[in-house]
Amino acid sequence: MKKLALIISTVILIGLLPATACKTNGGESRTQIPVQDIGTLWVEQEAADDIMTVPGGVPAYRANVQQQGVENPWTPIEISEATLSSGSEEATIYYRTLIETAAGENRNNVIKVIIPNKGVDSLSLYAIGVPAGLTLVDGMQWGGPGSRASVVVIEISSDVIPGAYSFEIGIEIKGEDYGTVPCTIKVIK
């Protein structure tokens, strides 16, 4: 009888483990995205996701900036939107989910955070599951009324073989973790 009770207790405990375990997004650890001046990361060749400043100093992708009377040769960059929360406070996050590139290039992902009727005084980013051959840096931050944007520069090594590489970018606002948004780098030939 004791043996049966022990087996039943073991089965119950094993069944409860997934519900009670500390979850860290698949067991992968966080890596803080370091801050580095974007000025050192500029490349000579123009790209659709080069960062331009528009009125008010807001960072925008070259492809998404329209100048009156000038034809824009770039295909607009698609922006995704997510709502993340910490406690009762919600933040709207704008970012790129999918980025296509060749190996050996740098790509930009503007992470814009808005909390209506509140300021976003501080924003820090972390990454989970960044594949080998990709390096992330926080190249620039901009703050405005109720919002803050960070330009995540993704350096793709020339050794990366074609394929899709996924990871997550985590958002911390005023020291509070709001969760993550997905990002996939599709390396093409």
Instruction: Give the residue, 139 or 14, on which the prediction is more confident.
Output: 139
- Tokens at 122, concatenated: 């501080």
* Interval 70-104: pLDDT, tens: 888 999 999 999 999 998 899 999 999 999 999 99
C-beta of residue 108 within 8 angstroms of C-beta of residue 60? no
Question: Which domains are seen in the chain, by residue range?
Answer: 35-63+78-188 (2.60.40.10)
Could you tell me whether strands 176-188 and 98-102 are parallel, antiparallel, or unpaired per DSSP bridges?
A: parallel
> Residues 143-181, buried b or exposed e (16+ Cβ, 10 A)?
beeebbbbbbbbebeeebeeeebebbbbbbbeeeebbbb
* Interval 57-78: pLDDT, tens: 778 899 998 888 888 899 999 9
- Is 147 a residue whose pLDDT tops 80? yes
